């Protein structure tokens, strides 16, 4: 695979089979699904070691509210980014947040950025986002503004679609088109 590759991850429960990865660059994109009962974190770490991406876009909280580190802040439930995007609290997601932060620390020095596919859909005002088990349509791809001449992989479930959207946020980041939400000290969400 040529360089300038990155991974988009829809991060699910550790052994649920709901974690999917989208890996590639502007020449080739591939989708990978973690099997049910397989350790999603070990799978991602293995994948990173084998493929050495330039960075990762992860659909999971990568930090805690700043109130836990600085007494000048009083919101122990939400970060600025969560409030701005109407996202779930990292505290509500508890174990997933802890796993995501630990995963990021194990993947470093490869940069890991937090993303939020639902916010991307809203930000781009996508009307053709597929519903559960609905196929990806060309209208959806056109609405994204994805004008790269490559074959997209077949998506078998919504976790794979969200992994692609996480990857697409990386594409937007590569092209300086992402919107950052939040406070850099507390944690940013890249859309």
Please report, for the domain that includes residue 54, its CATH number. Answer: 3.30.420
Decide: 107 and 48 in contact? Cβ < 8 Å.
yes
DSSP state for residue 115 in the 8-state scheme: B
Q: From first to last of the 191 residues of the chain, give the pLDDT tens digit.
A: 346 899 999 999 999 999 999 999 888 889 999 999 999 999 999 999 999 999 999 999 999 998 888 888 888 999 999 999 999 998 888 889 999 999 999 999 999 999 999 999 898 888 877 776 666 777 777 777 776 666 777 888 889 999 999 999 999 998 898 899 999 989 999 99
Q: CB–CB of 166/9 below 8 Å? A: yes
Residue 119 within a domain: yes
Structurally, the chain folds into a number of domains equal to: 1
- Ramachandran region of residue 162, left (φ > 0), alpha (ψ -120 to 50) or beta? alpha
Structural contact between residues 143 and 124, judged by C-beta atoms closer than 8 angstroms: yes
Per-residue tokens: 145:
């503004």
1 is a domain residue: no
Q: Residues 87, 31, 47, 45: what is their CA dihedral angle, to the nearest 10 degrees?
A: 20
Element (H, E) at 160: helix 158-174
- How far is 145 from 93, CA to CA, in rounded Å? 31
Distance, in Å, from the CA atom of 180 to the CA atom of 167, rounded to the nearest integer, reads: 16
- Asked if the structure places residue 167 within a domain, the reply is yes
Q: Can you give the pTM of this predicted structure?
A: 0.90
Q: Quote the domain boundaries for residue 109.
A: 6-190
Asked if the structure places residue 163 within a domain, the reply is yes
In a domain, 144, yes or no: yes
For residue 125, what are the contacts with CB-CB under 8 A and spacing of at least 6?
Answer: none
Measured between alpha carbons, how far apart are the two ends of the chain, in Å? 25
Q: How far is CA 81 from CA 50, 63, 85, 168, 172, in A?
A: 32, 11, 6, 19, 18
Residue 132 lies in a domain: yes
Is 17 contained in some domain?
yes
10 and 117 Cβ atoms separated by less than 8 Å: yes
């Amino acid at each position: 695979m040529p360089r300038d590759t990155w991974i988009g991850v829809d991060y699910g429960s550790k052994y649920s089979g709901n974690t999917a990865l989208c890996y590639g660059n502007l020449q080739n994109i591939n989708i990978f699904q973690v099997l049910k009962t397989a350790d999603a974190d070990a799978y991602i770490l293995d994948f990173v070691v084998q493929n050495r991406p330039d960075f990762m876009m992860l659909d999971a909280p990568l930090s805690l509210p700043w109130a836990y580190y600085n007494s000048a802040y009083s919101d122990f439930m939400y970060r600025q980014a969560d409030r701005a995007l109407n996202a779930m609290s990292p505290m509500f997601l508890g174990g997933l947040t802890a796993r995501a932060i630990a995963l990021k620390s194990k993947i470093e020095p490869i940069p890991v950025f937090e993303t939020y596919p639902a916010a991307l859909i809203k930000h781009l005002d996508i009307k053709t986002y597929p519903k559960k088990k609905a196929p990806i349509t060309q209208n959806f791809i056109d609405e994204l503004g994805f004008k790269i001449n490559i074959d997209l992989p077949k998506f078998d479930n919504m976790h794979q679609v969200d992994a692609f959207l996480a990857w697409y946020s990386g594409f937007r980041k590569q092209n300086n088109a992402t919107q950052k939400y939040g406070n850099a000290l507390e944690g940013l969400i890249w859309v």
